[in-house]
Amino acid sequence: GIQVEQSPPDLILQEGANSTLRCNFSDSVNNLQWFHQNPWGQLINLFYIPSGTKQNGRLSATTVATERYSLLYISSSQTTDSGVYFCAVEQGDNYGQNFVFGPGTRLSVLP
């Protein structure tokens, strides 16, 4: 099956710093989403981005489907950005939805 890798596994930043999180996947995908998991376990949708570039406030994401990677940019980080960021991909075959998640990047933003 498809493999999803995320880097770095852990990231510690000072408040106000910028960061780039990377997601590599091993096969073509029909769906790619970025999530932020809060301390209570809820997965919060950041981007639905199977290709192209999107921006939402201090966050932006780019997926280069032909090269099988996606990047999540966080600018001017805040302590509330702390948590685990997951990339999830779906190949979207006719057998139904099936997300494959990466292992996540644990981000800690220090005040």
Partner 1 sequence: KAGVTQTPRYLIKTRGQQVTLSCSPISGHRSVSWYQQTPGQGLQFLFEYFSETQRNKGNFPGRFSGRQFSNSRSEMNVSTLELGDSALYLCASSLGISWEQYFGPGTRLTVT
Q: CB of 87: closest distance to partner 1 in angstroms?
A: 11
Q: For residue 1, which of 93, 107, 109 has the smallest C-alpha distance? A: 93
| Complex with partner 1: residue 3 or 18, whichever CB lies closer | 3
- The residues binding partner 1 (CB under 8 A) are 30-31, 33, 35, 40-43, 45, 48, 50, 86, 88, 90, 92-101, 103-104
Cβ contact 51:58 at 8 Å = no
Q: For residue 47, which of 23, 80, 14, 13 has the smallest C-alpha distance? A: 23
Q: CB of 35: closest distance to partner 1 in angstroms?
A: 7
| Amino acid at site 45 | N
Q: For residue 94, which of 27, 30, 51, 49 has the smallest C-alpha distance? A: 30
| Complex with partner 1: residue 37 or 62, whichever CB lies closer | 37
Q: CB of 28: closest distance to partner 1 in angstroms?
A: 12
Cβ contact 70:20 at 8 Å = no
- How many C-alpha atoms does 80 have within 13 Å on its Cβ side? 3
| Complex with partner 1: residue 48 or 110, whichever CB lies closer | 48
| Complex with partner 1: residue 31 or 60, whichever CB lies closer | 31
Q: CB of 73: closest distance to partner 1 in angstroms?
A: 20
